Each structure stands twice: as structure tokens, then as C-alpha cells.
A and B are shown apart, each in its own frame.
Chain A
Amino acid sequence: MSSRLLARTILIGIITAVISTGCHHGNGVVASHQPTGPGSETSVQGIGGPGESGVGARPLVGGEGLPEHGQFPAVLFDYDSARIRPSEESKLEAVAAYLKANPGKLIIEGHCDERGTAEYNRALGERRAIAARDELVKLGADTSRMSTISYGKDRPVDPGHDEAAWAKNRRCEFVVVGQ
């Protein structure tokens, strides 16, 4: 990514995050994530006092409000499984084709239904996102343009408590940033 494009990505990110505070996913602050180990974090906002909002602040549920989330259909999974079903292959082919033809980075979100415990589902959601990423690499996508996020069971797309809802919630979503 050129430095101009990176700067634009960050700018869009900040604007998106500020605008989306209080509504749906603000998925713009990706560029600030550094793949590093420990670091100092001086922010003490919120400790013992009310009210911090701003970049990085996002509500829990939702995702259908911004065009980025609806751009590609979600890839669905079987219960307690991170295997890509043959039926979902064509969805990944479309994502891979888009990445080849367009600039930008891809965030792959892994999600689970509510029938697993919290931390186990965080690992399962990550395995789903990684499975989708690895499949996209096989289809020719550049791994350095992709990041994974597991939300476990914290962001269901369907708030229901039946098999129909669970089937929709066991998914990977794809978000393009910096296009």
C-alpha cells in the first residue's frame, strides 16, 4: 500500500469511527493495529470515572448497517467446526476475485453461535477466520492484505435462540478497508 493510500485509510478510519460511535460497526481503525509484543499504554480514561468515547469505541451488535459488511455474503459453518463447507467455496472465490482486482485490505471476522463457552468460542471463531484466510490464499489472495478477528459469540447477527439463528451466527464476515 502506498503511503498516500495508507494516510487515506487512517483518515477514513478515524472519520468512520467517530461517526459510527453509537450506531453500528465503525470498522475504520485497523491501520492502528501494530503486530508487536508489549508496549506502554498510558490511557487511564475510564478508570474511576465516567465516559470515554471516540476511536475504537464500538457497540456490540449489528454489522448490517454499513456497506462494507454486506459487500460479501457470510461464509457459514457447521456446529463446533472450522471446516470450510464445499457449499461455501463460491463465496470465497468471489472475495478472492475482488481482492485481485481491487486495492485495500480485508478483515475476516470469525463468529460463533451461543452454544459454546465464551473463551472456547473465541478460539473457535479465530479458527474459522483462519480457515477462510487460508482458503483465500489458496485462491491466490495475498496473505499480507488480510487480518483476522474472532468475536466468539459476542456479536451474533441473529439474536434468536433456535437452530435457524445459530446457523446464521456460525459465520465469517468480510470487511474491506482502505479501498
Chain B
Amino acid sequence: MERLWTMLIRTMVCLPLLSGLAAGVDAQVDVVKGRHSFGVSGFSGDAAIAGQVTDVLKNDLRLSGYFALAPVGSAEYVQSGTVRGDRNGIVVECIVMQQATKRVALSKAYQGSAQDVRRVVHKLSDEIVQAIAGQRGIAETKVAFVWAHNGAKELAVMDYDGYNVRQLTYDRSISVRPRWSPDGRKVVYTSYKNVFPDVLEVDLYTGQRRRLASYPGLNSGAAFSPDGLSIALTLSKDGNPELYTMNAEGTDLRRLTHTHAGESSPTWSPDGQTIAYVSDESGVPQIWQINRDGGSPLRLTVSPSYNTEPDWSRPPANSDMKPMLAVTSRVAGKFQIGVYEKGSGVVTPVVADGTDNEDPSWAPDGRHLIFTKTVHWHSQLYLLDVVTGEQVQLPSLEGGASEPAWGP
């Protein structure tokens, strides 16, 4: 409980700083970054609930990347609304209007339990993004990550904005590298609970855990295929860390690579036909690609001299974003996040600020990344909008957070 309060207080300190980013934006459309100016006039009704709803809505709209918060008088879009709340639940009514045309972009009521205020507002925010930008929002998504505290690494899940942290494991061991099933129901991860690193799966609905791979040596790096039917992973049972696939039940194991180097960190291409991964076959770690059925590997990245942690984005069909491969590079002794575009061989840095930045994971919109930033050996999670280039720190967690995986 104390930890939760620390988190809340830290967040409250951060919020004025964050909203300060939008100050001074008077233009109706931010031409450079393609953002609509948006005025939040707030909600009438129960003051305590209205204040929370307004704060969450502002934060969601800003994080979406499609809006610049602006004074109501000069904004392209304005919001108004009411909230009602009692012990049985809350009702949030919201109207969003394009001021110049008086066109109503959205007019809707949202209901939820009293504990669900944030979830209700996240739904409203995503519908505003859909109504105005015509794109899928991220406000209702979740993130799995590794929470280092009490001398252990435990798995946890939270909302995309860093709230509602729920610890999944209490093993007091090492639980790392979570990855989601495409339906958002399961998370696979590497667990040292039984001493050796095994691949486990946790069902988020039932809490049931099962062991999917526990061969001799290393079992790690599990990643679901886009159809959810297959899992790629690293095993060392045949004498060297190599890539394998198996079905989602952990059977029908197939070996993909045959090298004297180490293969790790598989990520499936958006069409599910190929797998990108790390290999140091060339002497330094680089990103390679192999067909899901095996065959000859193809080297994707050439420079810089250290590229790891590939993660393919899967933007929705109607998205403005193209599929991209995020990587962690090591340049001048620092980790930085880069993006590899298909066919180019080149990695373009997107987070290279002199701190250590690792573990990039794409949001389902193919536009936002979550990653780990380490400053003075303390790791916290950040969001990046690759279109605007803006980074936002999530509420900090005692201990430290790393290896985030953005849910579907």
C-alpha cells in the first residue's frame, strides 16, 4: 500500500510537467507533427470523480500522439461532459465537437464500476482517437514487464500508462522476458523458479501456470506467432543456443538454425512467415531473418556493430504506419533504440540521448514503443511516439522495471 502511495505521489508531481508540454500550442493543427489541437473543458457533476476523469482523459489524449492539448477557446476540437457516481458505479457522458463546423465527432455515455474509472476513461479516449484520427488508440492496452524488487525479478502487468500494477508471480526467483499471446489472454516468459531457466505460460484469466519447455540447458525467449498457434524460442539442448519453433501446447518441436554462434530473441514478422532474431555468427550480434520453416538465414542489419532485441511492429490494416523492426544497438558504450526499415540494412536511431535505452516493444498501433531507460543504474519504463519523437516516463516503480512487452 505504501508503495502504491509513493507511486501516486510521484505521478502527481509529474503531471504538471507533462501537461506543460502542450502549453503554448495555439495553432489549430500542429502541422509538423500532424496533431489536432484539443480543448478539454472537463466534466460537471461529482467533483472528485470529475477531476480524476479529466486528468486521465488529458493524459490519454496527449499520449495518443494525435492531439495537442490547447485552451478551449482556440482549439480545433472541444470536449464537454458530465459524470455521475455512487456506490453502484459511475456514468461518464462526453461530447466532442469540431468548433468551426459545429460537427459532433462523438457523443456517448460510458458506464463502469466505481473502481473502474480509469478503464472507463481509457475506452472513451480510444473512441475519440477513432472518431477524429480514424486510427486505433492504445489507451485500453496493457503492458507486461519485469519488476525487480525484494531481491527478485517478478512478472507484473499494468495499464499502458503505468497504473493498475498487478504482480503476477511471487516466486522470489527470476522471471523475465514476457511475451503476449495475440488474444491477450496468456503471457509466456522465462522462469528460474525450478532453478533452471524454463519457458512457462501464465493464463491471465485463471492464474493457471504451465511449463511449456524445460529441456536441459537454456529455455528462453519464447514469442507467439501472430496467429497464436506457434511459439518461437531459444533452446540449447542440442549443444548450442539455437532457434526452434513449437506449437502453443509445447509439442511438435522443430529446429530452425544450425550454427556455432548463439541465436536468441525471436520476433515474428507481421505476416507470420519469417522470424527475425539475434545471431553473432558474423562475430558481432546482428539481426538475422529465417523462414518459419527454416532454410538459409538472411542477415538484415549491417551497422552499428551491435544490434539486438528485435521487435516487429504489427500496425492495423488501415494504419498510416508501416511495419518496422525496433532494435537495441550499442553505440559508444551506450544502448540506444533504433528502427530498421525493410530492405535498407540501416538502423535509424530513435532514442539516443546518452542514457542506456533497451528492450523496445511495439504498441498494437505500430506507432508507440515502450522501452527501458537506465539512468545511474536504475531502470524505469518510458513510452516513445516514433512520429513525434516524444518520450514520456511512466510512474516510477520502487526497485526497477525492465523487459516490457506491450500487449495486443
The answer on a CB contact under 8 Å between B251 and A126 is no
Selected from A27, A40, A50, A147, the residue in CB contact (under 8 A) with B170 is: A50
Chain B residues, CB < 8 A from A124:
262
Stretch at the interface among B48-56, B96-104, B236-244, B346-354: B236-244
Q: Which of A45-62 contact B (CB under 8 A)?
A: 45-53, 56-61
Chain A residues, CB < 8 A from B284:
80
The answer on a CB contact under 8 Å between A117 and B358 is yes
Q: How extensive is the interface on chain B, given as a class?
A: 35 or more
Chain A residues, CB < 8 A from B140:
none
Chain B residues, CB < 8 A from A150:
197, 217-218, 236
Tell me how far the C-beta of B51 lies from the nearest C-beta in chain A, rounded to whole angstroms.
30
Chain A residues, CB < 8 A from B328:
117
Inter-chain residue pair count (beta carbon < 8 A): 184
Nearest B residue to A125 via CB reads B218
A170 to B56, CA, bound (A): 45
Selected from A40, A117, A151, the residue in CB contact (under 8 A) with B174 is: A151
The answer on a CB contact under 8 Å between B170 and A46 is yes
The answer on a CB contact under 8 Å between A147 and B196 is yes
Nearest A residue to B376 via CB reads A161
Stretch at the interface among B87-95, B128-136, B203-211: B203-211
B65 within 8 A of A: no
A56 to B195, CA, bound (A): 6
A47 to B170, CA, bound (A): 7
Tell me how far the C-beta of B187 lies from the nearest C-beta in chain A, rounded to whole angstroms.
11
A44 within 8 A of B: yes
Supposing A33-B196, A37-B251 touch, asked if A120 and B308 sit within 8 A by C-beta, the answer is yes
Selected from B153, B212, B308, B330, the residue in CB contact (under 8 A) with A38 is: B212
B20 within 8 A of A: no
The answer on a CB contact under 8 Å between B309 and A43 is no
Supposing A119-B265, A126-B236 touch, asked if A41 and B153 sit within 8 A by C-beta, the answer is no
Tell me how far the C-beta of B319 lies from the nearest C-beta in chain A, rounded to whole angstroms.
28
Selected from A41, A51, A53, A147, the residue in CB contact (under 8 A) with B211 is: A41
Identify the 6 closest CB pairs spanning chains A and B, nearest first: A38-B250, A47-B207, A46-B170, A123-B262, A123-B264, A57-B172
A-B contact list, 17 entries, CB within 8 Å = A35-B216, A36-B214, A37-B251, A39-B210, A40-B211, A41-B200, A46-B169, A49-B170, A51-B170, A52-B170, A57-B172, A117-B308, A118-B403, A119-B234, A122-B220, A150-B217, A150-B236
Q: A57-B173, A119-B221, A123-B218 are in contact. List 12 more A-B contacts (CB 8 A).
A: A38-B251, A41-B209, A41-B211, A44-B206, A52-B171, A60-B152, A117-B330, A119-B234, A127-B240, A127-B262, A150-B218, A154-B153
A contact set with B: CB distance below 8 Å: 21, 27, 29-30, 32-53, 56-61, 80, 82, 115-120, 122-124, 126-127, 129-130, 134, 147-151, 154, 161
B contact set with A: CB distance below 8 Å: 148, 151-153, 166-174, 176-177, 190, 192-197, 200, 202, 206-218, 220-221, 234, 236-237, 239-241, 246, 249-251, 253, 262-265, 278, 280, 284-285, 308-309, 328, 330, 333, 335, 358-359, 377, 402-403
